[in-house]
Chains A and B, each alone.
Chain A
Amino acid sequence: MNEEIKKDSCRQDFYAFFESKKETLLEDLEERIKRLSQKNSKFPGSIIPPEKPYYTPEDIKNLDYEKDLGKPGKPPFTRGVYETMYRGKLWTMRMFSGFGTAKETNERFKFLLEHGQTGLSIAFDMPTLMGYDSDHPRARGEVGKEGVAVCTLSNMETLFKDIPLDKVSTSMTINPTAFILLAFYVAVAEKQGVPLYKLRGTIQNDILKEYIAQKEFIFPPEPSIKIIIDTVEFCSKYIPKWHPISISGYHIREAGATAVQELAFTLMDGFTYVKYAIERGLNVDDFAPQLSFFFNSHMNFFEEIAKFRAARRIWARWMKEKFGAKKEESMRLKFHTQTAGCSLTAQQPENNIIRTTIEALAAILGGTQSLHTNSMDEAYALPTEKAAKIALRTQQIIAYETDIPDVIDPLAGSYFIEYLTNKMEEEAEKIFKKIEEMGGMVEAIKKGWPQREISRSAYEFQKAVEEKRYIVVGVNEFVEDEETKIEILKIPPEIEEEQIREVKEFKQNRDNIVVKNRLEELRRAAERNENLMPYTIEAVKAHVTLGEIIEELKKVYGTWQEPPNLY
C-alpha cells in the first residue's frame, strides 16, 4: 500500500511541478533552440551571416548559370581558369625557400627538385629586399637571415649553378628590387646560353601591397610603379613566359585584413597596374596575360573558396568591361596560393600540419594554379628539412590519394557557396567604389586609408581571440603546459661573415671605371624617364651591385615615408 501511495504521490509531484513550470519550460525551449542554432564562434571579419543555419535555392534565385558561372576555362572563369584544370595538370607544388648563402640555397633547391618539387621559389634576405648590399652597415645582423643574400651577379650564378634555366620555373619573392633580380636572372640565362623567350617564372614586384601591408618600400609610389611598368613592358616584348607582377593579397591578409579586404585591395592593386600600363601606351592584351596573382588561404574554409571564385569573376568582368580586353587570356585570373602564416601557432606546433591541410584544401577547391604549404615550425623560425618535407607531402597526398582533383569546381551549385561567392563580389565592389571616390589606390595609400583599415581589422582579430569569441586551439583553449621541443633551424653567424667577405672581394675584382659609367647611364636614363631594364641589365653584367643601383636611383627618386595616423 505504501508503495502505491509513494508512486502515486511521486507522479502527483511530477505533474504539479510540470504544470507550474510549463510556461517557463516552453519559453526556455524556444530560447534554447534559437541559441543552439546560433553559431558560437565567428571567424573575425567574416561575411558569413552567423544567424543563418542553412541555405536554400531562395538564396541564389537570381543566379544565371551561363552569365555567373559558365564553363571552366571560359569567361567569367568562376569555375576555374582552365578547361581541364587538375585533370589535365595538377597545380604546381611550389615551396618557398632560401636562406643563408647562395651555395646552401642551391643545395636545398637540388634537394627539393629531387624530391618531386616542380618549381623553384626563392626567398631573399632583408638587405636584398630593401636594396642594401650585404656589406652595408644597415645590413648588420640581417644577412642571410630570412632568405638568401643576392647582391652581386656572382651570388646569382652560385644560386643557379647546375640548374638549367630553361628547365625550371622560378618564382622570386622580391619587390622594390625585383627589377634588379630579374636583370641578374637574365644575365645568368645569357651566360648559360638560354634564350630569353624560354625563361619561365615570376617576380612578385608588387609595390602597392608593400605600402599597404608589408612595408618593404624604397621609393615613393609614382617612380616605383614606373619601374614596375618598365618590367611589364620589357617582359611583354622579350620574356613572354614570364610573370612580371604577382599581384598579392597574401601579405595584406597576413597584416590583419579580412578576407574581403584581401580580395578588394588586391584586385584594386591589379586594376591600378593595368591602368598605368595602358597609360604607358601598352595594349592591354599584350601584357595582361602575363599578370598573375598571389592569395592567402586561411582557416575560414568556405569563405576562402568563395573568395577565389569571386576573384576570377570580378577580374574577368573588369578586364573586359573597364579595360577593353579582347583576348580571353587577358581575363584569366591565374593565382598562386600560400597557406596562412598568421594562422600558425607556436603552441603545439604539430597542430599546424592540420591547419595547413585545411587551408590547402580550400585553395585547391578554389582552383589555385600553384600552392605553397607552410611547415609546422614556421611560427618559430625558418623550416627544417623534415618540416618542409611534410608540408610538401601534404599536397602530394591530396593530389594523388583523394578524388578532389578529379572534378573541376566540385562545389559549384551549392546554395551556400554560390551565395557566398556573390556576397564576396558585392562587398568587394563596395570597397572598390570607396577607393575610386578617394581618387584611386595611390591616393588612398597616400591618405593611409587601406593601412588604417587593416590595422583596425588586425586589432579586432586580436581582441576576438583575447575575449574568446574566436577560439584558437592550443592558444586560448585546449592549452597545454608544453615541453615539446621542435628542432629549429638556426642560421650560424659565419654565414654573414662569409657573404660580406665575398661581396667585398667582388667589388675589388672588377673594373670600377666601367661600374661608375654604367651607374651614370642608369641614372641619366631614370632622369629621362626611359625604361630602366636594359640599363639595369648592362649594369649587372658589368658587376654593379644591387645596393649601388638603388643608391644611385635614390638620388633621382627620393625615398618614401609612411603617412601619419595609421592606428
Chain B
Amino acid sequence: MSRTIVRMITAVLEAQGLVKRYGDAVALDGVDLTVRVGESLAIMGASGSGKTTLLHCLAGIVVPDGGRVTLATANGRLDMGSISDEERSELRRTTFGFVFQQGLLIPELTAVENVSLPMLLAGASRREAERQASAGLASLGLEGLDHRRLGQLSGGQAQRVAIARAQVMAPAVVFADEPTGALDSRTSMEVLDALIASTTGRGRTLVVVTHESAVARRCDRTVHLSDGCLTGVDEHRSAS
C-alpha cells in the first residue's frame, strides 16, 4: 500500500497550505500538518506564533484564507471549507470535543447538567443525557459531585468536568486549548493524566495547544510553530 494511501487512512485531519490573515497580520503562513488517528498531538509556540489559529482552523471554528483542512469521514474526506457555518457548527457539536483554558462551564448549571448539554443539544432525553453524563463524571474520578456547581469545585475538578463534557458525545477528535494554563503544576499533571487517559486511552485523537514543555512531552508528537510557520516536529512515541 503506497505511503500516500497509508497516510490518508491514518490521518483523521489533514491541513494543506494553511494561510490565515487578520488584517495585515499573517497568523498562519502555509502550514501543512497531518493529525493521525488516535494520537496525542501538541502544538507549541510562543504567544502570537499562530498555534490557537491553527487549532481554530483544524476544528472548523474559522475558515482559512488559503489552503484547506480535510476530515476523514465514513463517506471519504470532507473539505471543511466547503460546508456552511451551520454545518461546521454541527460538526463541532457531534464530531469534536473542546476543552478550554478556563473550562467555560455554565456557572448556573450543576456538573452533571453541564456535561449533559451536548447530548441535550443532540436531542437526547434529559434522563438519558444525565445518566451518561454521570457515568462520564465517575470515569474521571468525580463520582458524587454531580450536583455541585462551578463555584463549589476546585480548579482541577472543574477542568475535569470540562473534559467530561468534551467527551460525552464520543467525539473523534478532542481539541484542548491550554487546558492546564490556569492550574498549579500538580493539578496540571492530574488534569493532563485524565485528559490523555480519556482520549487516546480510548482510541480518540487529542490535539493540545500549549506553551508548557511538560505538557507537550506527555503527547505522542509535538509540532513547533513560529510566526505562523511550522519550524519542527518532535516524535516522542512511534507512529506505528
Same complex? no
A residues with CB within 8 A of B: none
Q: Which B residues have a C-beta under 8 Å from some C-beta of A? A: none
